[in-house]
């Protein structure tokens, strides 16, 4: 873990000359990555702005309450001070900075580290023309006895509305930082449900298009939908195990009166995971149906081509025979020879046309 950069000071010279002041590096403005920092006592947020060091000092001097800090896409240097103040494990901090993690739950000494993958539905006119349907992000949470630190990656993962909702209902925060973790988990899973409902509508629309006559839904469009469903499944399915562990008493950081709420969130995730699995199976069926439809269309086209080729072969064959110019050929020198051959060609072609139409080749 990189060291905190020095804030500067006085550097002495070994030759006895007066020490020269070294200008400290410019600190990164907290607003660049610290979204919010609040102190909560008995569920009520204490007034005033707080730095992370002042907030945890206030809580520990009081011997009650907790701190909730929200960070947005910090780099290793920006998160260093927070990590050292709260004693966060360097491996968890590295995961929080670099992101691209699967949903998971890890325990480091007296701190829990939990990763969520968030999803957002991208509005579009039609699922058969969209290039993207699901946009994903990440949300990490460090949970301690008197603090919770959230780290967000992505532009749609904001928790400002959730924080305002909790601030307006202090009773939900009385159990401590674990109640914030539950609210975050519930918030993420609610978005899973919303996205799942909209994707189900898209799949229903695509299914109607596939089975409707004279439509041109390609297998590539269905594979695109399968890719988006896979993106959703990567966010939903791995989250079930961490939530189940929290509901079963995995750590003392989650009080008994909060564990039952995690059990409810786990049930919702399981429901979403089952729906997403059914989406994948349905899309596989649609791919098979589309390929079968394409094969049937190709067979129909081939029959039409064969029928027209058979009709065209009649005048081609007769014209070829009478084009050989032998002296002794039937009706070659007859006055009615030409119209007779033309009539024979038309009769045979019309007869073939009626046969092919009757057999639905044309």
Q: Which tens digits make up the pLDDT trace of 242-265?
A: 999 999 888 889 998 899 899 999
Note the pLDDT of residue 23.
42
The pLDDT tens digits for 96-118 are 998 888 999 999 988 999 999 99
- The answer on pLDDT for 195 being more than 80 is yes
Confidence of residue 335 (pLDDT cuts 50, 70, 90): confident
- The answer on pLDDT for 217 being more than 60 is yes
The pLDDT tens digits for 163-181 are 999 999 999 999 999 999 9
Mean pLDDT of the chain: 83
Note the pLDDT of residue 40.
95
- Integer Rg of the chain from CA: 36
Confidence of residue 331 (pLDDT cuts 50, 70, 90): low
Could you write out the three-class secondary structure of the chain? CCCCCCCCEEECCCCCCCCEEECCCCCCCHHHCEEEEEEEECCEECCCCCCHHHHHHHHHHHCCCEEEEEEECCCHHHHHHHHHHHCCCHHHHHHHHHCCCCCEEEEECCEEEEEEEEEEECCCCCCCCCCCCEEEEEEEEEECCCEEEEEEECCCCCCHHHHHHHHCCHHHHCCCHHHHHHHHHHHHHHHHHHHHHHHHHHHHHHHHHHHCCCCCCCHHHHHHHHHHHHHHHHHHHHHHHHHHHHHCCCCCCCCHHHHHHHHHHHHHHHHHHHHHHHHHHHHHHHHHHHHHHHHHHHHHHHHHHHHHHHHHHHHHHHHHHHCCCCCCCCCCCCCCHHHHHHHHHHHHHHHHHHHHHHCCCC
Do 134 and 199 meet the contact criterion of CB atoms below 8 Å apart? yes
Question: How many CB atoms within 10 Å of residue 124?
Answer: 13
Mean pLDDT value of segment 255-284: 91
Which domains does the chain possess?
Answer: 9-293 (3.30.460.20), 301-358 (1.20.58)
Note the pLDDT of residue 1.
39
Note the pLDDT of residue 32.
54
Confidence of residue 28 (pLDDT cuts 50, 70, 90): very low
Note the pLDDT of residue 212.
77
253/14: higher pLDDT: 253
The pLDDT tens digits for 123-152 are 877 777 777 888 889 999 999 999 999 999
- The answer on pLDDT for 358 being more than 70 is yes
Note the pLDDT of residue 31.
45
Note the pLDDT of residue 123.
84
- The answer on pLDDT for 182 being more than 90 is yes
Confidence of residue 24 (pLDDT cuts 50, 70, 90): very low
Confidence of residue 324 (pLDDT cuts 50, 70, 90): confident
289/113: higher pLDDT: 113
342/28: higher pLDDT: 342
The pLDDT tens digits for 38-88 are 999 999 999 988 899 999 999 999 999 999 999 999 988 889 999 999 999
- The answer on pLDDT for 352 being more than 90 is no
Confidence of residue 26 (pLDDT cuts 50, 70, 90): very low
């Amino acid at each position: 873990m990189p060291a905190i950069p020095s804030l500067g000071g006085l550097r002495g010279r070994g030759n006895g000359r007066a020490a020269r002041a070294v200008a400290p590096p410019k600190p990164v403005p907290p607003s660049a990555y610290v979204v919010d920092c609040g102190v909560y006592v008995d569920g009520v947020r204490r007034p005033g702005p707080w730095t992370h060091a002042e907030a945890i000092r206030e809580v520990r001097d009081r011997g009650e309450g907790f701190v909730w800090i929200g960070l947005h896409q910090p780099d290793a240097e920006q998160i260093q001070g927070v990590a050292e103040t709260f004693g966060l494990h360097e491996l968890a901090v590295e995961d929080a900075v670099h992101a691209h993690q699967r949903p998971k739950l890890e325990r480091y000494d007296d701190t829990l580290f939990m990763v969520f993958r968030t999803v957002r539905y991208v509005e579009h006119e039609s699922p058969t023309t969209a290039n993207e349907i699901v946009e994903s992000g990440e949300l990490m949470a460090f949970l301690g006895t008197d603090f919770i630190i959230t780290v967000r990656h992505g532009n749609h993962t904001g928790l400002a509305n959730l924080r305002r909702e909790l601030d307006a209902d202090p009773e939900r925060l009385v159990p401590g930082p674990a109640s914030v973790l539950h609210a975050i988990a519930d918030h993420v899973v609610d978005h899973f449900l919303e996205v799942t409902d909209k994707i189900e509508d898209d799949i229903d629309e695509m299914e109607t298009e596939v089975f409707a006559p004279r439509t041109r839904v390609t297998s590539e469009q269905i594979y695109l939908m399968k890719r988006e469903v896979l993106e959703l499944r990567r966010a939903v399915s791995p989250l079930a195990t961490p939530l189940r562990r929290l509901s079963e008493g995995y750590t003392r950081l989650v009080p008994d009166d909060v564990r039952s709420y995690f059990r409810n969130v786990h049930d919702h995730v399981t429901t979403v995971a089952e729906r997403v699995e059914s989406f994948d199976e349905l899309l596989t069926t649609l791919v098979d149906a589309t390929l079968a439809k394409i094969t049937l269309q190709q067979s129909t086209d081939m029959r039409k081509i064969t029928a027209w080729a058979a009709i065209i072969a009649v005048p081609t064959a007769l014209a070829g025979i009478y084009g050989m110019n032998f002296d002794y050929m039937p009706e070659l020198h007859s006055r009615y020879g030409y119209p007779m051959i033309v009539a024979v060609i038309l009769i045979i072609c019309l007869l073939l046309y009626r046969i092919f139409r009757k057999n639905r080749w044309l």
